[in-house]
Amino acid sequence: MGPAIRREKLLLARALSATGVSAALLHAQTLLHPRGFVRVVNYHGTPPVSADAFARQMAFYADHFSPVTPGDLERFVRDRRWVAPRPGLIISFDDGLRSNFDVATPLLERFGFTGWFFVPVGFVDEPAERQAQYARDHMIQAGAAPADGRLAMSWSELRTLARGHVVGCHTRTHLRLAATVPPARLEDEIVTARRDLEARIERPVDSFCWVGGEEESYSAEAARVVRRAGYRYAFMTNNAPLAARTDPMQIQRTNIEADWPVDVVRFQLSGVMDALYAPKRARVNKLTAR
């Protein structure tokens, strides 16, 4: 989001919050989904400077949503009924950034949420002193490097995270899986990268997350490889609740930035973004359907 769009959205979000419209729309979604639903949000970096704003977002989430563990998601997909008193909320983080371990994870745990961390395996494999260049070369918005240069989580940190949270595969090289990507490359980015991730974190990996989010970052070929690879869940970024009938290989997320005020978060989750994304979502879902 550019600064101008962001300012307009902020003003709109403030106005809708002040008049209670966002809160009403948030509540209305529970009426639209009588079998319950899970909302999925995604973050990128969570730098120390955004810690206070991120903590306020967590407090807002804790007031309106229930946490979702892998077991909760499995039951929801199996039974097609969400049983917690409030909608579920999956809080996910893309790109394996170190600030997610240092800043976001303690706050997630303070508010009782499970984090879902989607990792480009090659970024974590890269030596610390080369990670800034790797991030630039692979379109990873990593922010300013700390003194030791390490921008990604370490494998040891990811093994720690995997004990109480979820670590998923976000390709090997943070590659947008366009229709032009050759089959051998798809195999490495989706299948072999997952196997390497499982070996490094010493856990099975059930979740895949697409890279980029632009419409041309999805392809039917890549979708077939993701399904064949045996992932249980695949995450996209086209804004919709995960409802009883959602294909678990087409779980949509809503992007949130760690420094946004709660008014903007409430607006992002009000359902307005879902409506704006409906045409694109329909095209991508059709392209990547079984």
Residue 95 found at the interface with Zn ion (CB under 5 A):
yes
Choices 1-9, 86-94, 181-189, 225-233; region in contact with Zn ion by CB under 5 A: 86-94
Q: How far apart are CB 211 and Zn ion at their closest, in Å?
A: 5
Interface pattern 44-83 for Zn ion (x via CB under 5 A): ----------------------------------------
HSE of 56 in the Cβ direction (CA atoms, 13 Å)? Answer: 14
Q: How far apart are CB 139 and Zn ion at their closest, in Å?
A: 8
The Cα 123–Cα 130 span in angstroms is 9
Q: How far apart are CB 246 and Zn ion at their closest, in Å?
A: 22
Q: Kindly tell me which residue out of 94, 157, 206, 274 binds Zn ion, with binding defined by CB under 5 A.
A: 94
Nearer to Zn ion, 67 or 115 (CB): 115
Choices 93-101, 175-183, 226-234, 274-282; region in contact with Zn ion by CB under 5 A: 93-101
Nearest residue to Zn ion, using CB?
Answer: 94
Q: How far apart are CB 19 and Zn ion at their closest, in Å?
A: 35
Q: Which residues bind Zn ion (CB under 5 A)?
A: 94-95
